Amino acid sequence: MTDFKLTYATMFDPPAELHTGFDKAIAKQKANLGREYGMLIDGRIILSDEKMEDYSPIDVGMKLAIMQKGDETHAQAAIEAARDAFPTWSRTPWQERIKLLRKAADLIDKRIFDLGAAMTLEVGKNRMEALGDVAETAELIRYSCDQVEENKGFVVEMGKDPLVGYKARNISRLRPYGVWLVISPFNFPFALTGGPAGAALAAGNTVIVKPSSDTPWIVRLLVDCFVDAGFPKGVVNFVTGPGRTLGQALVDSPDIDGVTFTGSLNVGMNIYRDFGGGKYVRPTILELGGKNPAIVSRNADLERAALGIVRSAFGLQGQKCSACSRVIVEEPVYEELLSRVKELTEKLVIGDPSSKETYLGPVINKSAYHDFKIFTEEISEAGAKFITGGNVRTEGDLSKGFYCEPTLVTDLPLTHRIWKEELFLPITTIAKVKSLDEAMEIANDVDYGLTAGFYGNDEEVEWFFDKIEAGVVYANRPQGASTGAWPGFQPFGGWKGSGSSGKNAGGHYYVQLYMHEQIQTLIK
Ligand code: NAD
């Protein structure tokens, strides 16, 4: 590739070879669909009696892969394998651990087109979003490696006690916990499996990854990168099966030492309670949902605001935890912003996400498609207005998949539940307010606190950064009002119901979450 650096903020204008590479890869993947993939436990491919057939949301007749429907016995086998591998892996010098991780990251980069193509077919992401998810994963893994390296394995010489007649040596050492469970969601299946797994491994833990049942194939291809990089057996284990059975068995096990769960608030809170039901407290990193606002002041650059809002509202069909699902606008610029947002939204191309022109692919599955119909009905019944969208699309090939229009809603009473609940669909509600203080009150009046965007003048921006309750906040950003964080630039994490650790992934304080401190005192 050229010196173009792909991030979610640069992806709008990629070089031509990126398209050529992707087109070739899509053809290659489509020619090889329907293979069976096993789980990976203790370095062995494991097949289960029951299978899960994996179909594309683009075309429900397109069988992508046959995956294993693992159960409690597989959960147990994976735990045993990870536990057996831990003593050696945790004592492997960190330099060797990160060498392997960097090799896996390089393999991910090398395979970016094949992986991106598989992601498009399985998740329904448009090509740039899919390539972004893959590239981000390699960066997240490298970021954890860099942190371990810069901190020299997190071994720090402490002060010496002022003892008379003795010499004291005190060392602070961060050490891995043991077996780390990574449960990932469907929408960023690569980055949100590979990122946490990479941090856990860099820290010296062994891992078990369990992907969403909507996206087991792409995560299996990620695990191949770890296998091909040469990770010892049992260090990375991969199990597939329903969250409620296999996932729950992992969460309920006393032999899991820490968990990173990325997914919805409800499932996350249940995991928090269940995991907390053990004999003692174990680290629980939760990365949960969002109901992300964009506030537009009367002093805003409306062109920037409109672009940023539309990109963040409808990228990945509104199925980003960081999606801009609420827009709050000061009265004097309301009509003008509304008309520009509507105009830009109506230009978005809906269709097969593997094609170059498409911005919106399908939503992930039948249940999300059904939810879209229910929510739009509810919005109509509440007397709100659809500025644009509001329908599913079924013409031509769109009838084969789960396509929903990008939908903008006004005049929905602020007391309506849709202002507070995460829909995870291409539906964004817009409200008019008299002042920025009123806007801020609405913005913060939700259980979530993941991302937020603001458009206004410099003084207002400082006020916004100070008052907004969210973990990732952007000002005057046309590349995305609330979306598009990139490791190393915008470490990602949430406040309130959006996250548990208070430290963002891909940032300074993340890899440390995967280790506990030991102070080693020796008196001579
Ligand atoms: P989900 O909560 O339905 O599922 C997430 C994962 O949990 C899946 O792998 C699922 O199989 C598993 N699971 C379900 N029940 C389980 C159980 N009882 N025990 C163990 N595992 C179980 O989420 P989803 O629909 O896949 O993803 C969308 C959600 O994820 C949204 O709420 C979104 O905001 C959130 N998300 C958050 C972030 C973040 O960084 N904060 C990033 C991406 C997605």
The answer to whether the CB of 290 is under 6 A from ligand 1 is: yes
Checking if the pLDDT of 2 tops 80, the result is no
Average pLDDT score over residue span 24-32: 97
412 falls in which pLDDT band (50, 70, 90)? very high
pLDDT for residue 17 = 87
The answer to whether the CB of 224 is under 6 A from ligand 1 is: no
The answer to whether the CB of 385 is under 6 A from ligand 1 is: no
pLDDT digits (tens, 9 = 90+) for 62-113: 999 999 999 999 999 999 999 999 999 999 999 999 999 999 999 999 999 9
| Cα dist from 440 to 315, 332, 476, 492, whole Å | 24, 17, 16, 22
pLDDT for residue 464 = 98
In 3-state terms, what secondary structure has residue 355?
coil
Q: For atom 8 of ligand 1, which residue has the closest CA? A: 212
8 falls in which pLDDT band (50, 70, 90)? confident
9 falls in which pLDDT band (50, 70, 90)? confident
Q: Where are the alpha helices (DSSP H) in 57-110?
A: 72-91, 94-110
Cα–Cα distance for residue pair 115/130, rounded to 1 Å: 8
Average pLDDT score over residue span 155-180: 97
Checking if the pLDDT of 352 tops 70, the result is yes
Q: For atom 9 of ligand 1, which residue has the closest CA? A: 212
pLDDT for residue 5 = 84
Cα(87) to centroid of ligand 1, in Å? 30
The answer to whether the CB of 288 is under 6 A from ligand 1 is: yes
The answer to whether the CB of 453 is under 6 A from ligand 1 is: no
Cα(182) to centroid of ligand 1, in Å? 11
Atom of ligand 1 nearest to the CA of 270: 18
The answer to whether the CB of 114 is under 6 A from ligand 1 is: no
Atom of ligand 1 nearest to the CA of 185: 26
Q: For atom 24 of ligand 1, which residue has the closest CA? A: 185
Express as a percent the part of the chain with pLDDT over 70.
Answer: 100
Q: Best of 321, 369, 446 to mutate for ligand 1, by most ligand atoms within 8 A of CB? A: 321
Specify the CATH class of 16-288+501-523 in words: alpha beta
Contact call for residues 42 and 227 (beta carbons, < 8 A):
no
480: left (phi over 0), alpha (psi -120 to 50) or beta: left
CA dihedral 364, 369, 371, 374 (to 10 degrees): 170
Average pLDDT score over residue span 361-372: 98
Same fold, 16-288+501-523 and 292-485: no
397 DSSP 8-state letter = G
376: left (phi over 0), alpha (psi -120 to 50) or beta: alpha
Q: For atom 30 of ligand 1, which residue has the closest CA? A: 263
pLDDT digits (tens, 9 = 90+) for 447-473: 999 999 999 999 999 999 999 999 999
**What is 292-485's CATH number?**
3.40.309.10
413 falls in which pLDDT band (50, 70, 90)? very high
Cα(20) to centroid of ligand 1, in Å? 33
Q: For atom 22 of ligand 1, which residue has the closest CA? A: 243
Atom of ligand 1 nearest to the CA of 450: 41
The answer to whether the CB of 264 is under 6 A from ligand 1 is: yes
Q: Clarify whether 287 is annotated catalytic.
A: yes
Cα–Cα distance for residue pair 82/252, rounded to 1 Å: 16
The answer to whether the CB of 376 is under 6 A from ligand 1 is: no
Residue in 136, 287, 405, 460 annotated catalytic: 287
| Domain ranges for the chain | 16-288+501-523, 292-485
Checking if the pLDDT of 223 tops 60, the result is yes
Cα–Cα distance for residue pair 421/264, rounded to 1 Å: 11
Q: How does 259-296 read in b/e, with b if 16+ C-beta sit within 10 Å?
A: bbbbbebebbeebbeebeeeeeebbbbbbbbbbbbbbb
Q: For atom 39 of ligand 1, which residue has the closest CA? A: 287
The answer to whether the CB of 186 is under 6 A from ligand 1 is: yes
The answer to whether the CB of 196 is under 6 A from ligand 1 is: no
